[in-house]
Amino acid sequence: MTRREALALLGGGVALGVSRWTGVAFAQRKPVTFPTGAIIRTLTKDLAPESITTSALFHEHLSMHYPIGTPTSFSDDVALIVEEVKLAKADGVGLIVDGGHPDMKRDLDALRRIATEAELPIVGSGGYYMQRSYPPEIATKSADEIAGTLISDAKAGRLGAFGEIGQDGGVLTADETKVFQAVAKAQAKTGLPIFTHNAYTGTRPTQNPVPRDAALKQLDVLEAAGGKASSIAIGHVCCLDDPKAEIAIALAKRGVFVGFDRVTIALVPDAQKATTIMAMVEAGYASHVLLSSDFYSGRSLKKNGGPGIAQTLTVFAPMLIKAGMSEVMLKGILVDNARRFLAFVPRG
């Protein structure tokens, strides 16, 4: 295929380095295949991955109390969230992964009600967030014991992922390392996908920037404990000041998905996030990109004048089109990549 032909497939918008382009088939959005028996597990039923044909958001929050420990939350108004999810569905969202778990005060019953009343599938997640939110027993349990609890919780709650699994600072604490190991062990026994929270604090990257090697070290721990790279998404990579996508590409080369899951949130400007994604595309790793917004604030509700839960589609996606991404490729990221990440063959 000539450079001109490749550009025609991509809509003619950007002069990509096609000599390194490994995703021309991805640019054409050829049919995705899944292993026999693969499912996406939602809170209400198991879905065939092929049944998801519209955008899936792999990391949002429809039920949580943030900051951790806050006694009340806008998400306690379940009827309000139902209406916001209906609006997101009208904007093109077909599935949402809720990234909360018990130490975030996530309410599974509320999520089931939202899924049912809004008629939109929701994937529930399990795990532990980070050191400052851990229950006391984490300090005394082994990684194997924690993994056993995670597996039991996943079965009892019909959970379809482990996430968001994070760290509180630039270096994993001993307990955080143990939780990462436990999550990887639980994945090995269940098949469930994992998505992480990469370290950052503050409202601007200059206050406490994400260490450039934090994402790679998270992956090191997960893989050493038995985690499967193709079912792992390292999150918040978009928070890095990495316009050339050096860390993102290094992660993709190891087979994981790369989470740009804080789009529309400050820290690093959205325009730079788009630049980083396009650098991944040019390097041939579009099939490793995942998009989401980590929705967690009442300010973002449409009721309050915000862009709503679908802000990844309505605010950020047009920036990628403007940067030169084709509509076909964008749909491949929002639909195909998301369902490839979430699909798993149940074990045990």
Q: Dihedral sign for Cα 251, 256, 257, 261, please.
A: negative
Q: Give CA torsion, residues 306, 316, 84, 58, to 10 deg.
A: -140
DSSP codes joined into one string, 124-169: -EES---GGG--GGGGTS-HHHHHHHHHHHHHHHT--EEEEEE-SS
Position 8 scores a pLDDT of: 36
In the block, tokens 């049919």 appear at 31
**Tally of structural domains, the chain:** 1
Cα Rg of the chain, angstroms:
19
What the block records as the tokens of 344 is 């798993």
Is residue 253 in some structural domain?
A: yes
- Angle made by CA atoms 45, 46, 47, in degrees to the nearest 5: 115
The reported pTM is 0.91
CA dist., res. 116 & res. 111, Å (int): 9
Find the helix or strand (DSSP H, E) in which 234 lies.
strand 232-234
Q: Residue 212: what pLDDT?
A: 82
- Cis check for the bond before 164: say yes or no (omega within 30 of 0): yes
Identify the CA nearest to 98 among candidates 68, 129, 58: 58
Residue 192 lies in a domain: yes
**What distance in Å separates the CA atoms of residue 133 and residue 85, rounded to the nearest whole number?**
27
C-alpha 154/C-alpha 309 separation (Å) is 25
* Euclidean distance between CA atoms 172 and 183, whole angstroms: 14
Q: Evaluate whether residue 179 is within a structural domain.
A: yes
Domain that holds residue 134: 3-342
pLDDT at position 66, please?
A: 85
Residues of the chain with pLDDT under 50: 1-23, 201-206
| Measured distance CA(201)–CA(222) in Å, rounded | 22
Read off the tokens for 45: 């039923």
In a domain, 348, yes or no: no
Instruction: Report the alpha-carbon distance of residue 22 to residue 286 in Å, rounded.
Output: 9
Report yes or no on 237 lying in a domain: yes
* DSSP 8-state code for residue 346: -
Q: Is the dihedral of CA 144, 111, 291, 119 positive or negative?
A: positive
CA dihedral 258, 262, 263, 267 (to 10 degrees): -110
CATH number at residue 285: 3.20.20.140
- The answer to the question of residue 201 being in a domain is yes
Residue 321 resides in a domain:
yes
In a domain, 347, yes or no: no
